[in-house]
Each structure stands twice: as structure tokens, then as C-alpha cells.
Structure 1
Amino acid sequence: MTMMPPVPPVPMRRDSDLPERVWFDRAEMAVILSLYGRMVAAGEWRDYGISGQRDVAVFAVFRRTAETPLYRIEKRPNLRAKQGMYAVVSEGGQVLRRGHDLAAVLRVLEKKLIRPID
């Protein structure tokens, strides 16, 4: 009769083993809030929400509080080496722009501020 080797115990997971949540840093928030302030002054946006999860940080902007977000500004560090960790996603889930530079990615939303003068 052959003996099976002993099975090592499964290690318990500690909070220190879990990846940290992704958040926007101070410089990123300054860029986002600068655009947000201009859009509020133009009457386009009225509310926002921020979420930090293990793989993504989201800054969602709303026209009204009780609606789904008009746009989501996302930071996904896992995509840093690929197409870029910043993205602007529309209400329907379409990625409007993705890139490595947050200010350049947000320019897609700044076009909303340019209006013809009657």
C-alpha cells in the first residue's frame, strides 16, 4: 500500500494579503475637479460620486442626483502598460477616450463647454 504525502494546510487570508483599493491621488483629483467646476458653472453637471475598488477608481458625474451617471472617469492601474489607465465612459457604457494622460483623456468632455454664440 502506497502512502500519500501529507496535504499542506491552506493558509488563511489576511487583510494584508488583499490588494489595496484604487483611488485618485491629489493631482488627479485637482484635474478632475477643475473640469467638474467648469461644467457645474456651465449648468451641465450637478452632482458627482466617487468609488474606490480593488481594480478601479471611478468618478461619476450626474446631471441630476437620482439619475444614472452621465459619464464615468475611470482609473484602472492594471491597464497602465496597455492602452492607458484612464478612461471616460458614457452613460451607455461606450468608452469615449482612453489614455495614459488624464488631462488629455478629459478633453473629450471639455468639448461640451464650447458652444456657438447666437
Structure 2
Amino acid sequence: MDNLIRLQRDRKSVGHFFFTRGELGQLLSLYSSRVAAGEWRDYALDQLDDMVLFSIFRHTHERPLYSVAKTLPRGQRRPSYTLFNGPKRLKTTQNLRDLLLTFDKLPRLVTG
């Protein structure tokens, strides 16, 4: 009965790493414009140990069409942003705005 277990010490220390309010605003602004155009339908936010993901879906029950990942490379203070199309890495930059401009160059769904 004398054995004391300190849960704090045994827990894995996970840093609070997420999108800032401004970054989330930029992502949701792009997302809402594409939803209004009928191209995208759903999104998901995932927080992993070393990155946070904003994934975009065309249909709710599919794999992500695009994912924006924010990572903090070891030894650096500025985060890195990467755009994925499935497993394919499309662009990596240290500025989210530059990354989001990439969406203007990608093919878009045409409806008639």
C-alpha cells in the first residue's frame, strides 16, 4: 500500500501544437469559398505528436482530397506548411498564405 504512482511523471509530454487563430481563419476562408462553389463538402482537423493536419474532403466518406500539414522542424522556431494530395507532396513552405495560393493553380471541378 506504500507504493505511490505519480501519473504526471509517467505520462508522455505532448506539446500543444495547433493552428493559430489567424491560420485557422485563412484555412476556413478558403474552405468556405470552395464549399460555396460545390467543390468540397467536409473537413477534418487532426492533431498528432509532431504535426497538425487540416484535411479537405470532396465527399464525407472518402479519403482526403487535400491535406495541409503544419510541422515544427527540429531546431527551428518557425513552422513549416506542406500541402498533400493524397500521399503526394505538392508544396512545402514557411508561409501559409503562399501555400494556400497553390490552390488557385490546381485543377478545379467544373460543373455545368
TM range (shorter): 0.7 to 0.9
In structure 1, the gaps of 5 or more residues are 1-11
Runs of 4+, deviation exceeding 3 Å: 112-116
TM-score by length of 2: 0.78
Aligned to 1:7: none
CA contact (8 A) 1:50 1:58 kept: yes
1:101 maps to 2:79: no
How much has 1:39 moved relative to structure 2?
0.8
Asked which structure has the greater CA Rg, the reply is 1
1:111 maps to 2:85: no
User: Which of 48, 63, 69 matches 1:68?
Assistant: 63
Count of aligned residue pairs for this structure pair: 103
Aligned to 1:50: 45
**Which one has the bigger strand percentage?**
2
RMSD, aligned CA: 2.8
How much has 1:56 moved relative to structure 2?
0.4
TM-score by length of 1: 0.74
In structure 2, the gaps of 5 or more residues are 1-6
Identity %: 32
